[in-house]
């Protein structure tokens, strides 16, 4: 075999092994295992209503396949919804609700609003059967809110129809009617509406309006359902809509009702629907006193129900025949049929029908004039009522216990979710605190470094200013010393009167220290030296290029600095030292000190202290 063909064969074997090992492909190798699970879940969801056992088998195979797969949360959500639906139709209500709660957890983890709303909507039905009306209504309201926010018109309409039905069960008839009307508005404004889906929803609305006693609205929506079903050529829904119209017209227009029922009977495809239509037709003929046709139809209902078998259909047929016999004066036959229907209903557990038949038997016996039988029928009726009341109380207690258990589970789940939520918040807050602590430490270190660097630069600048001042002060002291010891000018000539006057001023300042007097004025000094203040000022400008104020401020600043240098003045405030040096005000002192030294007194004093410590 050539090497190129051998390499291709090895590559194919490697790819095949890889695909089989990690579970990407199914047995056929045509589609991925994930897609296969999605397909099985979809098929199971479609079969859940009619064949729940088959649906559960497919879902079990999905569970087996998923052992080696990593499925997304949305797939698991669809899985639990399909399983819950199959369990619901298999009469496992508690298990159904448990699966719906698992689906809700997966929807929350996937953050999928549409899946969450779907779970809320579907879970309402088993909750209603468990008499959890408040929880069912709350979930339906949440579903409507989510569907509306997502713009899912058809789903929102379905949820509103179910919500209206829930309101009707709770006795909130105005809210129920409003929910049905809102559903109709949503459907009417939907540009991409599907006539087949609309007919099904309108039928649902019609049925629910009938259940809350709004017969007119029920008839209006039955007409809409018929229009949509005819547009979609949907025969089953056409038949149901015709049946609803027959119910609506039964007492107001019996002839029209008869026509609707006859049309519906010709279109019914399922035995159950055909039985319902035949039963309604029989009641129409019963209302019209056509007992022969009514009995014929009731016989058909009985025969078909027995052949299916459908025991409740047999019971209802017997009840209808008993009514026909009673109204036609055949009381014995009526009682016999009622007795048979009552026994059959009792064996099937239809307690409400048993009670109803006992009541009818009493009325039939009374009409027939059989007082003894009527008293017995009345006694049976009362006993049944009492026993049913006891059963209702027992069932109510069981319902309350179940409700309590469900609430406890919900509270426990809520508590765990809240604890997990707060734990996540705590971890997040600790992380934020740690980050802020690190940032604060870094900022503090940078600020400390910046401050230290700035302090070093500032200290260096102050040190240079002090050196400059000391140099200037030494130079000035040297000039004054030369001025005091020499009576001649630098060029050897006789000292000028101005120079002589300045020398006297410095001599007076160094010996008498008049500058320590804060009230000293230039005219007082001039008078003491025997000259005018103008001559004195001119002499200072000519010899030193200064003024009297600058000269006296220099001497005073020197006096302050000398006191700063002495340790015994360390505890004395700067203001007191300035006053002791002859400064009359704090502002004049600070201005003079800044001008002469280039620094503030406090900075200068601090630098002297550090220099002394070194």
Say if residue 191's pLDDT is above 60: no
Say if residue 272's pLDDT is above 80: no
Residues 378 and 512 in one domain: no
Residues 480 and 405 in one domain: no
pLDDT band at 432 (very low <50, low <70, confident <90, very high): very high
Helix axes 73-89, 93-110, angle to 10 degrees: 160
The pLDDT of residue 12 is 35
Residue range 349-402, pLDDT digits in tens: 777 777 777 777 777 777 777 667 677 777 776 776 766 665 655 666 666 667
Residues 363 and 493 in one domain: no
Q: Where among 393, 411, 429 does a domain terminate?
A: 411
Residues 607 and 477 in one domain: yes
Residue range 273-324, pLDDT digits in tens: 777 777 887 887 878 788 888 888 888 888 888 777 778 788 888 888 888 8
459 in any annotated domain:
no
Residues 404 and 475 in one domain: no
224 in any annotated domain:
no
Within 13 Å of residue 39, how many CA atoms lie on the same side as its CB?
Answer: 8
pLDDT band at 498 (very low <50, low <70, confident <90, very high): confident
Q: Which of 396, 399, 395, 365 is nearest to 380 (CA)?
A: 365
Within 13 Å of residue 468, how many CA atoms lie on the same side as its CB?
Answer: 12
Residues 302 and 381 in one domain: yes
Q: What single string gives the DSSP state of each residue in 287-307?
A: HTT-HHHHHHHHHHHHHHHHH
Q: Where among 373, 395, 411 does a domain terminate?
A: 411
44 in any annotated domain:
no
396 in any annotated domain:
yes
Tell me what percent of the residues of the chain surpass a pLDDT of 70. 86
Residues 380 and 313 in one domain: yes
Alpha-carbon distance of 57 to 55, in angstroms, equals: 5
pLDDT band at 269 (very low <50, low <70, confident <90, very high): low
The pLDDT of residue 388 is 63
The pLDDT of residue 8 is 34
446 in any annotated domain:
no
Alpha-carbon distance of 311 to 348, in angstroms, equals: 8
Structural domains counted in the chain: 2
Q: What is the chain's mean pLDDT, rounded? A: 79
Residues 470 and 607 in one domain: yes
580 in any annotated domain:
yes
We report the CATH number of the domain holding residue 544 as 1.10.10.60
The pLDDT of residue 10 is 34
Regarding predicted confidence, which is higher, 599 or 362?
Answer: 599
Q: Which of 155, 126, 167, 120 is nearest to 140 (CA)?
A: 120
364 in any annotated domain:
yes
Q: Where among 411, 428, 446 does a domain terminate?
A: 411
Residue range 527-586, pLDDT digits in tens: 888 888 889 888 888 888 888 888 889 999 999 998 888 888 888 889 899 998 889 888
The pLDDT of residue 433 is 92
Say if residue 217's pLDDT is above 60: yes
Residue range 22-65, pLDDT digits in tens: 333 333 333 567 787 888 888 888 888 778 888 888 888 888 87
Q: How far is CA 557 from CA 225, 554, 563, 569, 573, in A?
A: 109, 5, 10, 15, 15
Answer whether 0.75 is exceeded by the pTM.
no
The pLDDT of residue 291 is 82
200 in any annotated domain:
no
Residues 477 and 406 in one domain: no
Task: Classify the C-alpha dihedral 32-37-38-42 as positive or negative.
Answer: positive
We report the CATH number of the domain holding residue 362 as 1.25.40.10
Q: Which residue range forms the structural domain that includes residue 406?
A: 284-411
Say if residue 435's pLDDT is above 90: yes
Q: How far is CA 419 from CA 148, 237, 297, 414, 427, in A?
A: 31, 50, 64, 8, 12
The pLDDT of residue 192 is 59
Q: What is the mean pLDDT of residues 114-130?
A: 87
Q: What is the mean pLDDT of residues 160-189?
A: 78
């Amino acid at each position: 075999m050539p090497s190129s063909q051998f390499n291709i064969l090895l590559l194919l074997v490697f790819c095949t092994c890889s695909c089989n090992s990690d579970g990407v492909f199914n047995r056929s190798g045509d589609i991925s295992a994930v897609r296969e699970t999605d397909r099985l879940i979809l098929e199971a969801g479609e079969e859940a209503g009619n064949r729940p056992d088959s649906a559960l088998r497919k879902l079990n195979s999905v569970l087996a396949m998923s052992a080696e797969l990593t499925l997304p949360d949305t797939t698991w959500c669809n899985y639990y919804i399909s399983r819950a639906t199959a369990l619901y139709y298999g009469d496992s209500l508690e298990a159904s609700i448990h699966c719906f709660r698992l689906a809700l957890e997966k929807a929350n983890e996937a953050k999928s609003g549409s899946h969450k709303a779907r779970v809320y909507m579907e879970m309402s039905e088993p909750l209603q059967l468990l008499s959890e009306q408040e929880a069912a209504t709350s979930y339906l309201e949440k579903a409507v809110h989510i569907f509306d926010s997502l713009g899912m018109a058809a789903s929102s309409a379905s949820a509103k129809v179910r919500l209206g039905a829930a309101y009707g069960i709770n006795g909130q008839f105005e809210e129920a009617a409003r929910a049905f009307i809102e559903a109709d508005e949503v459907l009417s404004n939907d540009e991409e509406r599907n006539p087949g889906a609309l007919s099904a929803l309108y039928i649902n609305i019609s049925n629910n309006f009938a259940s809350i006693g709004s017969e007119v609205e029920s008839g209006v929506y039955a007409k809409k359902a018929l229009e949509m079903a005819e547009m979609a050529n949907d025969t089953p829904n056409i038949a149901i809509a015709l049946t609803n119209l027959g119910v609506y017209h039964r007492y107001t227009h019996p002839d029209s009702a008869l026509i609707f029922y006859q049309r519906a009977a010709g279109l019914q495809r399922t035995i159950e629907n055909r039985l319902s239509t035949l039963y309604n037709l029989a009641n129409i003929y019963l209302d019209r006193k056509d007992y022969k046709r009514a009995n014929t139809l009731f016989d058909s209902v009985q025969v078909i129900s027995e052949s299916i078998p459908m025991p409740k259909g047999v019971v209802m047929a017997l009840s209808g025949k008993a009514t026909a016999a009673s109204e036609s004066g055949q009381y014995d036959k009526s009682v016999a049929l009622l007795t048979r229907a009552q026994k059959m209903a009792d064996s099937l557990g239809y307690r409400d029908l048993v009670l109803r038949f006992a009541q009818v038997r009493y009325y039939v016996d009374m009409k027939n004039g059989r007082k003894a039988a009527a008293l017995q029928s009345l006694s049976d009726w009362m006993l049944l009522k009492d026993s049913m009341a006891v059963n209702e109380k027992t069932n109510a207690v069981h319902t309350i216990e179940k409700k309590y258990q469900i609430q406890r589970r919900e509270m426990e789940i809520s508590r765990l979710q809240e604890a997990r939520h707060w734990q996540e918040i705590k971890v997040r807050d600790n992380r934020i605190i740690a980050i802020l602590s690190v940032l604060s430490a870094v900022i503090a270190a940078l600020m400390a470094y910046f401050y230290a660097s700035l302090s070093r630069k500032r200290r260096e600048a102050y040190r240079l200013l002090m050196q400059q001042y000391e140099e200037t002060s030494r130079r000035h002291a040297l000039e004054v010393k030369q001025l005091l010891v020499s009576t001649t000018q630098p060029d050897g000539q006789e000292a000028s009167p101005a120079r002589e006057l300045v020398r006297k001023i410095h001599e007076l300042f160094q010996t008498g220290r008049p500058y320590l007097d804060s009230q000293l004025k230039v005219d007082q000094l001039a008078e003491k030296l025997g000259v005018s203040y103008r001559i004195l000022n001119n002499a200072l400008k000519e010899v030193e290029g200064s003024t009297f104020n600058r000269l006296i401020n220099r001497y005073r600043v020197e006096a302050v600095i000398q006191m700063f240098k002495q340790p015994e003045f360390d505890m004395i405030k700067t203001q007191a030292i300035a006053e002791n040096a002859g400064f009359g005000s704090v502002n004049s002192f600070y201005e003079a000190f800044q001008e002469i030294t280039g620094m503030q007194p406090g900075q200068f004093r601090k630098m002297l202290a550090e220099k002394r410590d070194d």
